[in-house]
Structure 1
Amino acid sequence: MDLKGAVALVTGGNGGLGQRICHALAREGAHVAVMYARSRDQAESVASELTSRYQINARAFACDITDGAAVDRLVGEVTRAFGHLDVLVNDAAYNVSIPFGDLDNLTLEAWDKIMAINLTGPMRLTKAVAPVMKAQGRGRIINIASVAGLSPTGSSIAYAVSKAGLIHLTRCMAVALAPETRVNCVAPGLLDGTRATANLRAEQIERSASGSLLKRPADKDDCADMVVAMCRTETMTGQTVVIDSGRIFH
Structure 2
Amino acid sequence: MDLKGAVALVTGGNGGLGQRICHALAQEGAHVAVMYARSREQAEGVASELASQYHIKAQAFGCDITDGAAVDRLVGEVTKAFGRLDILVNDAAYNFAVPFADLDGLTPQVWNDIMAINLTGPMHLSKAVAPVMKAQGRGRIVNIASVAGLAPTGSSIAYAVSKAGLIHLTRCMAVALAPETLVNCVAPGLLDGTRATANLKSEQIERSASASLLKKPADKDDCADMVVTICRTETMTGQTVVIDSGRIFH
TM-score range, shorter chain: over 0.9
CA distance in 2, matches of 1:234, 1:104: 46
- Name the CA shift for 1:247/1:235 in 2 (closer, same or farther; >3 Å): same
With normalisation by structure 1, the TM-score equals 0.98
- Which residue identity lines up with residue 66 of structure 2 in the other structure? T
| Residue aligned with 1:105, SS | coil
Aligned residue pair count: 250
Residues 10 and 35 of structure 2 are in contact (CA less than 8 Å); yes or no, is this contact kept in structure 1? Answer: yes
Aligned to 1:167: 167
Identify unmatched segments of 5+ residues in structure 1: none
| Residue aligned with 2:41, SS | helix
- Name the CA shift for 1:199/1:109 in 2 (closer, same or farther; >3 Å): closer
Aligned to 2:5: 5
- Which residue identity lines up with residue 36 of structure 2 in the other structure? Y
- Which residue identity lines up with residue 243 of structure 1 in the other structure? I
- Which residue identity lines up with residue 53 of structure 1 in the other structure? Q
Aligned to 1:146: 146
Residue 98 of structure 1 deviates from its aligned partner by 0.5
- Name the CA shift for 1:207/1:103 in 2 (closer, same or farther; >3 Å): closer
Q: Residue by residue, what CA displacement relative to the aligned partner does 1:84-143 show, whole Å, maximum 9, x if unpaired?
A: 000000000011001000000111111111101000000000000000000000000000
| Mapping for residues 6-85 of structure 1, pairs under 5 Å | 6-85=6-85
CA distance in 2, matches of 1:79, 1:201: 40
- Which residue identity lines up with residue 89 of structure 1 in the other structure? V
Residue 206 of structure 1 deviates from its aligned partner by 3.5
| Residue aligned with 2:104, SS | helix
Moved more, 34-43 or 206-215: 206-215
CA distance in 2, matches of 1:202, 1:217: 13
| Residue aligned with 2:10, SS | strand
Q: Residue by residue, what CA displacement relative to the aligned partner does 1:200-243 show, whole Å, maximum 9, x if unpaired?
A: 46665333212111111000000000000000010000000000
Aligned to 1:136: 136
- Name the CA shift for 1:162/1:67 in 2 (closer, same or farther; >3 Å): same
- Which residue identity lines up with residue 128 of structure 1 in the other structure? A
CA distance in 1, matches of 2:202, 2:122: 31
CA distance in 1, matches of 2:204, 2:232: 36
CA distance in 2, matches of 1:76, 1:204: 41
| Mapping for residues 224-235 of structure 1, pairs under 5 Å | 224-235=224-235
With normalisation by structure 2, the TM-score equals 0.98
**Runs ≥4 in structure 1, deviation > 3 angstroms?**
199-204
- Which residue identity lines up with residue 27 of structure 2 in the other structure? R
Identify unmatched segments of 5+ residues in structure 2: none
- Which residue identity lines up with residue 8 of structure 1 in the other structure? A
- Which residue identity lines up with residue 218 of structure 1 in the other structure? A
Residue 216 of structure 2 corresponds to residue 216 of structure 1: yes
CA distance in 1, matches of 2:126, 2:206: 36
Using the aligned pairs only, state the percent identity: 87
| Residue aligned with 2:124, SS | helix
